[in-house]
Structure 1
Amino acid sequence: MSRTDPSDAPLLAATQLHKRFGANEVLRGIDLTLHRGEVVVLIGPSGSGKTTVLRSLNGLETPDAGTIAVDGGPEIDFAGRVSSQQRFALRDRSAMVFQHHNLFPHFTVLENVIEGPWRVQGRPKGEAIDAARLLLDRVGLADKENARPHQLSGGQQQRVGIVRALALRPDLLLFDEPTSALDPELVGEVLLVIKELADEGWSMVVVTHELSFAREAADRVLFMDGGVVVEQGPPAQLFGAPQHERTQKFLTRILRPLDGT
């Protein structure tokens, strides 16, 4: 599928990102572009650097080298000193949904959702509440606004996490394996919400092991291994005719159980 015009300037452009944790070089020259309305899915084995890419795009991690530019703005060059303002600029343009929902346990659902828009972004509280209620209604949680996180199922908690990200009105949504901590029967309800957001034209980078979701929702799929992008392309191409031996081996291991062969 294609929801974008590749001739348009990218919403996000990351070039040659490098990141080392001690002796472990996690990212070894990652290039990633994203056009407005595009869904890019990152797949690959655990430890391949996918989460570190997301955290770098959101300003939660500082690469050792490389550049990131958002929506044609000035490049942040990580080879030099990166200011807190530059990190905030990245975080202000994107919102991240984590593996674990990271909700405040002592807040109600509504309080969790309005915290960012009201306290951080400075929007009027009444406006933040009205917007939060609309978002909760769209994911089927309008009746849970006064519940605490421990009173919700895992799938409901993750849907609140998605609503909390949407409430920030970001240009870019980042999902870090949003279903990996859920029981299998709850995975579908969360993936359905993300798929609906993709269909509405939200710009997304998604890290997931749910390859059926990647097949259906992605415009492009990037296969990562060893801190590099080994191969990328439209889902039909990457899953149907992968070119690189490492991609072929990975998909053979993962898809065979899915296909029941």
Structure 2
Amino acid sequence: MSPTDDSGDALAPPAPGDDRPLLHVRGLTKSFGANTVLHGVDFEVRRGEVVALIGPSGSGKTTVLRSLNGLETPEAGVLSFEGGPEIDFAKPVTKGDRLALRDRSAMVFQHHNLFPHRTVLQNVIEGPVYAHKVPKAEAIARAEALLERVGLSEKRDAYPFELSGGQQQRVGIVRALALQPSLLLFDEPTSALDSELVGEVLLVLKELAEEGWTMVIVTHELAFARQVADEVLFFDDGVILERGAPKDLFTAPKNERTRRFIDRILRPFDG
């Protein structure tokens, strides 16, 4: 797996394989105490595909994302990447299982989660150097190329407190890309930003989609999801209530609950 093309472009996505799904999720079930937040969730993601998870708060979207990255442990279900790993959550999940998931995926959080005492460059090279044992010089070269691509090369030596929220989130995206993942996971990447900063982050995500990165995005930006996603999954109360191509799901949803949600978000002033 290498996200560099023949020209050494550090922001190029992993080369596409055949048409088999990169990721299978089957029967994912998760509870917190007496509250079941996922009820047997099934979906798949193909290489180069963008899948958007939408739905009301508390519907299970973020729990799915965290399960894909090994941050949550479901009680049941099977998660398998093409070429491995395959994890059956009905069996004990080992540290090696979690590390295998994190070798295949990288997550961008709502609130950036940058190390405040480290510079932008230090934040970006942390994972490649210490988790993936990439030589430091190589990690720095990769980080500098990525920072240049998202317009932040001049901020390499700045600390997070010196950046705007949008810049911090772009550093978070670069930090994920520097790990050379097969799958990028985004958890409401614009929800913590002021409205004027949302566009700069969405532009980066749109460019990544156009370049062929495989992504699963939890988002409340439905207009953005309609523009970039290949498939949209509408979650409600821990299940996928409806799924489909954006042109179908956003214009003619089959489920009344889906229609009400979309109308409330996209057309709040109609009528």
TM-score class, shorter = over 0.9
Instruction: Please identify, of 239-248 and 74-83, the stretch whose mean Cα deviation from structure 2 is larger.
Output: 74-83
Distance 2:83 2:35 in 1: 32
Instruction: Show the counterpart of 1:144.
Output: 155
CA RMSD in angstroms comes to 1.2
Off by >3 Å, runs of 4+ in structure 1:
none
Instruction: Show the counterpart of 1:100.
Output: 111
The answer to whether the Cα contact below 8 Å between 1:57 and 1:68 also exists between their aligned partners in 2 is yes
Percent of pairs with identical residues: 69
User: Are 1:70 and 2:65 an aligned pair?
Assistant: no
- TM-score between the two structures when normalised by the length of structure 1: 0.96
Instruction: Show the counterpart of 1:238.
Output: 249
The answer to whether the Cα contact below 8 Å between 2:41 and 2:240 also exists between their aligned partners in 1 is yes
Instruction: Please identify, of 66-75 and 176-185, the stretch whose mean Cα deviation from structure 2 is larger.
Output: 66-75
The answer to whether the Cα contact below 8 Å between 1:41 and 1:222 also exists between their aligned partners in 2 is yes
Question: Aligned to 1:19, which of 23, 30, 44?
Answer: 30
User: Are 1:206 and 2:217 an aligned pair?
Assistant: yes
Cα distance change of structure 1 residues 74 and 106 upon mapping to structure 2, 3 Å threshold: closer
- TM-score between the two structures when normalised by the length of structure 2: 0.92
Paired residues, number: 255
Letter aligned with residue 248 of structure 1: R
Distance 1:205 1:74 in 2: 18
Distance 1:85 1:32 in 2: 24
Offset, 1:260: 5.6
Spell out, residue by residue over 1:232-258, the C-alpha distance to the aligned partner (whole angstroms, 9 max, x if none).
00000000100011101111211112x
Instruction: Show the counterpart of 2:195.
Output: 184
Question: Aligned to 2:231, which of 220, 229, 233?
Answer: 220
Distance 1:149 1:73 in 2: 35
Offset, 1:73: 2.4
Gapped regions of structure 2 (runs ≥ 5): 1-15
The answer to whether the Cα contact below 8 Å between 2:85 and 2:100 also exists between their aligned partners in 1 is no
The answer to whether the Cα contact below 8 Å between 2:85 and 2:101 also exists between their aligned partners in 1 is no
User: Are 1:162 and 2:162 an aligned pair?
Assistant: no
Offset, 1:71: 1.3
Spell out, residue by residue over 1:215-242, the C-alpha distance to the aligned partner (whole angstroms, 9 max, x if none).
1100000000000000000000000100
Distance 2:270 2:258 in 1: 20
